Structure 1
Amino acid sequence: MERVVGDFRDLLRSPEIDLGGAALAVARIEHPELSIESSLAALDDLAARSGVTKTGGGRPALDRLREFLFGEEGFRGNADDYYDPCNSCLNDVLERRLGIPITLSVLAMEVGRRVGLEIVGIGLPGHFCVGSRVGDELLVLDPFGGGRVLERAEAEAIVARAVGRAVKLTDTHFAPTPKPQIVVRMLRNLETIYARREDWAKALAVIDRLLVVDSGVPAHLRDRGTVLVKLGDL
């Protein structure tokens, strides 16, 4: 376990984090024998087949990527079984074409990066989406909703449903989420899922990784102690 967590630490210390690789390292909590290289190759294959590079860039390139991933390839949100841990594992998303907002967003970001599109993560309250700047305009896309372009009012409606109250979104809400914080959000999702399932061994594995990427948060140490009690190790 120490070696696995050490490898995770090394991955996140890279000057430019490989988000796809980091997401797949997170997925190893659920799938310890996962071949990260095979899943990265699947991302490469999607990029190669997308046809985005033939569009000349700009809005046509972004629209082509949306059509390819969420139309032709059939990636979609798993609203029927949202808390299935497989939805949080990028390898499973690639295989099943089902995910939650953050893993579908990572998919779009990573395929986009491979075809020369700058797509950033946007961590709205209770919902994760992506954005890409076309000229002076930031286009906000909802991968969980089929890759549709969101107007601000639509984004506010999605957030209101997610958090149970109205939230007035400002430009700050649409600022790019740093890659380490995307990894943190993925881990926190899995921590919640494993706690709901009382799978304390996997919850502990999540927290150990949170302590690597988000070490300044005392709550992680508290949560680790709670989980160790559940496991009978304290």
Structure 2
Amino acid sequence: MTTKSEIESLIYLLEDPDPEVQMGVKRRFRELGEQAVPLLDQFRSESIHDSERNTINEIIYNITIGSLMEEFSMLLENGVQNSGTLEKAVLMLSRFGNPTIRIGEYERKLDQMARQIGTDIAYTPSIQEKMQILLQFVFRELRFRGDSKDYHSPENAFIDRVIDRRKGLPIMLSLVVIFIARRLNLPFYGVNMPIHFMLMYQTHNQNILIDPFDGGTIVTYDQCYYFLKKNGIEPRPEHLQKADEADILARCIRNLIHSYGKSNQDRRVRDLRELLQIIELKG
């Protein structure tokens, strides 16, 4: 067992310049294991110093990463075959950024968002109008938007941070729409277009492409082909088709690998690459 005073002392000793002291502190945290996490989380939330919060976050990460990888592997045992499993996996992925995140809290936030427009969706007969109601709600009322200023930040690639901050990468904005749509039985899907992830809305006679990074604007296939050509990519039909859920999850992880690689967080890059291998094996 551990106490609050011991955790406080260990955190204080992490500032000691002696490498042997620091190694001893880290060894003690490994011995304490996950029983130390609640107290560490409390100290992290009470700290007023970014450096101390970051240090505590790394300690929590190192303690919990083993069990997180195991849980992820179990979740993916039968593959990622629908949006429900994809949602669970994307929410669990948030624990790579914040190991103590309460996943149920974000499931409830998505439930609440769906409830806010559930009646309007139910009583609107037009399938096209249902689409517009959800897009208007997410991108106008809730003000979800793309973050072009700090595009590659991990903050834009974790669904919990995107929900809290209302901004993120195209794929994360798309997943907010898809997860709300899942609760409302609306046919929104992801499109794994190179460089720029897109949304698709299926009606009985057409597939409508939507740019989540541009406030939910409807775009044409010709515009997407031009975008790809402009960026040196030869367009292929599969670039604009409905994406497989496992491919979407893999792209989420690759985005995080890229983000953490830019900030030289090699441990997280290695762990995420291992996670990517699990998905590829299950696929």
TM-score, with structure 2 as normaliser: 0.71
Q: Does 1:2 align with 2:55?
A: no
Aligned equivalents of 2:234, 2:214: Cα separation in 1: 19
Check conservation: 1:88, 1:190, Cα contact below 8 A: yes
Aligned equivalents of 1:57, 1:206: Cα separation in 2: 42
Deviations 1:116-164 (A, max 9, x none): 1021110011111111111211011111111111101222244345xx2
Aligned equivalents of 2:222, 2:191: Cα separation in 1: 16
Structure 1 window deviating more from structure 2 (193-202 vs 1-10): it is 1-10
Amino acid across the alignment from 1:203: V
Q: Does 1:11 align with 2:78?
A: no
Q: CA deviation at 1:3?
A: 1.9
Q: CA deviation at 1:2?
A: 2.8
Deviations 1:198-224 (A, max 9, x none): 01121122112112111389xxxxxxx
User: What is residue 87 of structure 1 aligned with on the other side?
Assistant: 156
Aligned equivalents of 2:112, 2:271: Cα separation in 1: 31
Check conservation: 2:229, 2:235, Cα contact below 8 A: no
Q: Does 1:116 align with 2:180?
A: no
User: What is residue 111 of structure 2 aligned with on the other side?
Assistant: 44
Q: 1:135 to 1:126 in 2, by over 3 A?
A: same
Q: Does 1:66 align with 2:132?
A: no
Aligned equivalents of 2:146, 2:227: Cα separation in 1: 14
Q: Does 1:156 align with 2:225?
A: yes
Larger Rg: 2
Deviations 1:82-119 (A, max 9, x none): 01101001011111100101111111111111111021
Q: Does 1:55 align with 2:124?
A: yes
User: What is residue 194 of structure 2 aligned with on the other side?
Assistant: 125
Aligned equivalents of 2:139, 2:68: Cα separation in 1: 33
Deviations 1:157-204 (A, max 9, x none): 44345xx2253353x322211111111000001001111100112112
> Where in structure 2 are there 5+ consecutive unaligned residues?
1-64
Please give the root-mean-square deviation of Cα atoms over the aligned residues, in Å: 1.8
Amino acid across the alignment from 1:86: E
Query: Across the two proteins, how many residue pairs are aligned to each other?
Result: 214
Identity of aligned residues (%): 24
Amino acid across the alignment from 1:48: R
Aligned equivalents of 1:13, 1:174: Cα separation in 2: 28
Structure in which a larger fraction of residues adopt helix: 2
Q: Does 1:196 align with 2:262?
A: yes
Aligned equivalents of 1:29, 1:79: Cα separation in 2: 23
> Where in structure 1 are there 5+ consecutive unaligned residues?
218-234
Structure 1 window deviating more from structure 2 (201-210 vs 152-161): it is 152-161
User: What is residue 212 of structure 1 aligned with on the other side?
Assistant: 278
